[in-house]
Structure 1
Amino acid sequence: MTRSTDPGRAHPPGASAPPIPPVTGGRGFTVAAVEAVPIFRDGLSALIQRSHGMTWVGHAANHHTALQLCEQLKPEMILLDSGLDPNCHLTRLLTAAEHPPIVVVLIREATRTSRYLTSAIGAGARAAVPRSAEPRRVIEAMRRAHMETRYLDPALATLAVRPKRQPAADGRPATGPRAQMPLSRREYQVLQLIAEGMENSAIAKVLYLSVETVRTHVKSILRKLAARDRTHAVTTAFRSGILITHPDDCAQLPESAEPQK
């Protein structure tokens, strides 16, 4: 594998960049990403695979497959694109698991705000680094998150203040760091699949549940969202930010969680 050059240092033609130093002060750990853009995802995979002490196990491109990935592959750390979780619902679900992964948020420019950072930390994210950061800074954030309680990239330090609570642009109360996810982990997966147009029998096959169990989850979803029917529940979920549309650059990529081959 050809190593990419360090942007901050010149190298003679044909020479490879120095290897990323190994993780020290602890055992190695497994890593997965929630990232829908192939070039970013492949870059993260290559970065992890050439970093000592880290093992790449796979990726997911949306909320539903992210939860499946964690259930099936149980990665110890998740790299999460903030553009896929602007309201921090997925972060909250991941960190509320019985054996939660360490969540490192890769912050896009669109979510590079004090409000988002405070919400992400409140939802359980352990580290945050700009999505556009150089590879060494991403690795540093991962190391520090694995070894320490919390890590914030220096470029984001000015955002580490508690924002004043303000209403959203549409008049609805803004999502705060302590906002609670009204649905359980499984209900959230069912709602995602309803939004994709699946009927109960298809959802049951995807989630390895009985149709009756899916019906029970649907009833609970309708009750919790005060929805008249499935369509109303999906509409309410999108309007309240429980479900999100994908960022423009990944809206056409509804891939499944794929373990590393």
Structure 2
Amino acid sequence: MTTSPAEPTPLGTPPVENPLRVVIVDDEPLVRRGLAMILGAEPDIEVVGEAGDGSRAVDVVRTACPDLVCMDVRMPGIDGLRATELVLRLPDPPKVLVVTTFEHDEHVTDALLVGASGFLLKRASAAEMVQAVRTVGRGTSLLFPDSVRDMLRPRARTEPYPGPPLTEREREVLARIARGMTNAEIAGALFLGVETVRTHVANLLGKLGARDRTQAVVIAYRTGLVDPADGGSTG
């Protein structure tokens, strides 16, 4: 039966004007396909490329210009750690979300130290995968703060902080970033406006020389600005 032009036709969810552009890197084709299907079904996410190894990943990222790369850490040849380093050296680099099988994989720690913005476990549910991509892509909070803190605790206070001194308010904001709080949650905890918190976060990133919140926390732990043993309190 043909639908008359006057009759309404079913419509899917309208596409978002500026969707989050994602590249998926994994040496397992089934993993890539599964992630692509899960993420591609979301109206605000667009999968713009895939790669099966670290070397190919750099080429795909250079061509596709994504906002975010889902990066497997254990791959033959150029692994995810080295590929993360290379991708982050590109002009206008994307954020990197490390994808791993093991929660306390030392490769993840190293990837965070070179600039990855968070990590995702391969056993995560589809909803958790989508939320992780959105969280890292938007840069509004730190992904899995407890696990990040546990992984970085052995490397805490291993180097001096060479940057400009932080104000007391900046230290308070940094401690709450380390707990995984969003700007809105920090604003509520400190009785500040969200825009004021955004300004503090931007100032912190500049002083620490960090490209995002995760790297800021990594630097804070390594320099003793935040003590991971105290759950994110300032040192």
TM-score by length of 1: 0.48
Gaps of 5+ in 2: 1-11, 159-235
Equivalences, count: 143
Is the aligned partner of 1:49 residue 2:40?
A: yes
Gaps of 5+ in 1: 1-18, 166-175, 177-261
Q: How does 1:158-169 map to 2 (within 5 A)?
A: 159-163=150-154
- CA offsets per residue over residues 144-180 of structure 1, 9 Å max, x none? 1122265323683563433259xxxxxxxxxx9xxxx
Q: 2:91 aligns with which of 80, 89, 98?
A: 98
Distance 1:100 1:120, change over 3 A: same
Kindly provide the amino acid, as one letter, of the partner of residue 96 in structure 1.
R
Q: CA RMSD in A?
A: 3.1
Report if aligned partners of 1:104, 1:142 keep a CA contact under 8 Å in 2: yes
Report if aligned partners of 1:130, 1:153 keep a CA contact under 8 Å in 2: no
Distance 1:125 1:86, change over 3 A: same
Distance 1:151 1:113, change over 3 A: same
Partner of 1:152: 143
Q: For residues 132 and 60 of structure 1, what CA distance do their matches in structure 2 show? A: 20
- CA offsets per residue over residues 167-220 of structure 1, 9 Å max, x none? xxxxxxxxx9xxxxxxxxxxxxxxxxxxxxxxxxxxxxxxxxxxxxxxxxxxxx
Distance 1:74 1:164, change over 3 A: closer
Deviation of residue 114 (structure 1)?
Answer: 6.3
Q: For residues 43 and 82 of structure 2, what CA distance do their matches in structure 1 show? A: 31
Deviation of residue 88 (structure 1)?
Answer: 1.5
Deviation of residue 101 (structure 1)?
Answer: 1.1
TM-score by length of 2: 0.53
Partner of 1:28: 19
More helix by share: 2
Distance 1:81 1:27, change over 3 A: same
Report if aligned partners of 2:71, 2:98 keep a CA contact under 8 Å in 1: yes
Distance 1:155 1:88, change over 3 A: same
Q: For residues 78 and 96 of structure 1, what CA distance do their matches in structure 2 show? A: 14
- CA offsets per residue over residues 95-136 of structure 1, 9 Å max, x none? 121110110011122xx3264333111111111111111111
Choose between structure 1 and 2 for higher RCO, CA contacts under 8 A separated by at least 6 residues. 1
